[in-house]
Structures are given as C-alpha cells and as structure tokens.
C-alpha cells in the first residue's frame, strides 16, 4: 500500500522538487502540497498523511511550531537550509533532516528510514506447539496476505526498502520489508550471499566464483562470503563425496 505524502514549504520551487521526488518512488503517493504550516494543519485534519515533508522557516507559524501542536503527527522529515535546527527537530521525533538543496539520493535515504520504522510486513506463520518449527511465511503484498512455503522460495532479492521473492512456480512477490528482518525468519538452508541476495541452497544448480545459478535465476556471491557459504553447503551434505 502506498504511503501518502504531504509537502509543506513556502517556496514553490522547493514544493515542486519534493513533489517530483515523491512521484519517482513507487511506494509513495503525493497527497498534496501546502505553502504554510496553517494550511498543512487544516489539510492533515481532513486527509490521511503517512509522511510529512516539512520546511522549518515559514511565515506566521514555523514547521517546529506546527510539530509541537499537531496531534497524532505523521512520520516527519524536516527540510531546511539551516542546520542549526537539527537537534530541536530530533527532540520532536522527526525521522530525518534534509538540508536544502535536497538531492534525490539523500531524499531516498530518508524514505528508507521511514519504511524501516514501519511494522514488519513479513512474519513467521503461526504453528501448533506440536510442530518443531514453521515451514512457511505469511507475506503482506498487493494489499493481501500471501502464504509461501520455505521450500517454494528460490531466491530473494533486495530492492531498496522492498524484497522480491522468486518462487518455484514462477511468482515474483514484492513486499515492503528489510532483508535483515527476513533473514532472521528463514531456516538454515537459506544463506545471504550478498547484501542484496538470499538463496535457498536446495534450489542451487551451480556455483561459480562470484555468481550462483538457481533454476532461471541468478544471485551474486560476495568474495568475503564464499568460504563460509561453501562450508555451510558441505555441512548440509549437498556437495557429495
């Protein structure tokens, strides 16, 4: 589900730049723009907002003043040309602080901080006490919950704040989730071969120096992971004699 964003800045150029950035990120949706804190306060009262991009120095009411009086405020990313407000902003539990002019890379890093703080999108499937361990995941994707058995997962690829799960039946399931969180939920026959790849060892076809083939998919094997990875495979008796 897209996160609705509100851009608040008294400068038209700044509003336009951030609006363009929001529209470039698939998981974001521009809910609106406001040229003052007072206008933003009225907007938030009647419209759902997940992320607030908030300028600090504005006429009549500053961004900091707005945060102090705004009940149930959205996840807030401050935008300003003045770095001296950073400490005060963090005291108000802002998620990030962007110095103008804001480039897209820095903007995207701020977004990943917000998405990482959201509730986990993947959780282990509940299992009866009689079972030794879970054998599947329930994954939130496309506004529904999808059940995926561990043995159906071929490879997982990290894509920014998302993961893409490739399965044996050809599905590609995209979910908002960190690779690190997902790694904790998977059994021992899964291995993170690279910061952007987790592979199911059971589905490996071949291993080269820095790449792994799994059915029609490929994964990267980091040089600093290779020795540990091969040791794990040996322990799982997948290399043979």
pTM of the model: 0.51
Distance of CA 147 to the CA centre of its chain: 20
User: The domain that contains 55 carries what CATH number?
Assistant: 3.40.50.2300
Query: Is it the case that residue 85 has pLDDT exceeding 70?
Result: no
Cβ neighbours of 217 (radius 10 Å): 16
Indicate if 171 and 93 belong to the same structural domain. Answer: no
pLDDT at 124: 53
Indicate if 43 and 104 belong to the same structural domain. Answer: yes
- Boundary (domain end) residue, out of 47, 82, 117: 117
User: The domain that contains 226 carries what CATH number?
Assistant: 2.40.50.1020
Domain that holds residue 169: 123-235
Own/partner long-range contacts of 43-50 (Cβ < 8 Å, ≥24 apart): 43/6, 44/6, 44/70, 44/73, 44/74, 47/4, 47/6, 48/4, 49/4, 49/5, 49/6, 49/74, 50/3, 50/4, 50/5, 50/74, 50/75
Range name among 76-90, 95-109, 160-174 with the lowest pLDDT average: 76-90
Indicate if 112 and 131 belong to the same structural domain. Answer: no
What's the average model confidence in pLDDT over 32-41?
96
What's the average model confidence in pLDDT over 227-239?
75
User: Bigger pLDDT: 206 or 237?
Assistant: 206
Share of the chain above pLDDT 90, in %: 42
Cβ neighbours of 3 (radius 10 Å): 21
In a domain, 148, yes or no: yes
Indicate if 230 and 131 belong to the same structural domain. Answer: yes
- Boundary (domain end) residue, out of 117, 142, 166: 117
pLDDT in tens, 47-72: 999 999 999 888 889 888 998 898 88
pLDDT in tens, 164-221: 999 999 999 988 878 888 888 888 889 999 999 999 999 999 998 899 999 889 999 9
Cβ neighbours of 106 (radius 10 Å): 13
């Amino acid at each position: 589900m897209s996160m609705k964003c509100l851009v608040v800045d008294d400068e038209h150029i700044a509003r336009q730049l951030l609006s363009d950035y929001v529209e470039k990120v698939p998981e974001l949706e521009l809910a609106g723009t406001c040229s003052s804190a007072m206008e933003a306060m009225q907007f938030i009262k009647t419209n759902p907002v997940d992320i607030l991009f908030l300028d600090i120095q504005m006429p009549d009411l500053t961004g900091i003043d707005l945060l102090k009086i705004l009940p149930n405020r959205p996840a807030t990313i401050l935008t300003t040309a003045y770095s001296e407000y950073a400490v005060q902003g963090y005291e108000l539990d802002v998620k990030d602080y962007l110095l103008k002019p804001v480039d897209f890379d820095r903007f995207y890093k701020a977004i990943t901080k917000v998405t990482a703080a959201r509730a986990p999108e993947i959780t282990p499937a509940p299992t009866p006490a009689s079972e030794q361990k879970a054998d599947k995941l329930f994954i939130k994707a496309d506004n529904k919950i999808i059940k995926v058995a561990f043995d159906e997962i071929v490879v997982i690829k990290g894509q920014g704040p998302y993961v893409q799960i490739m399965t044996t039946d050809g599905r590609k399931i995209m979910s908002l989730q960190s690779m690190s969180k997902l790694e904790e939920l998977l059994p021992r026959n899964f291995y993170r071969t690279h910061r952007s790849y987790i592979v199911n060892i059971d589905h490996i076809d071949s291993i080269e120096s820095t790449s792994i083939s799994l059915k029609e998919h490929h994964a990267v094997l980091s040089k600093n992971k290779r020795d540990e990875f091969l040791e794990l495979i040996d322990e799982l008796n997948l290399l043979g004699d």
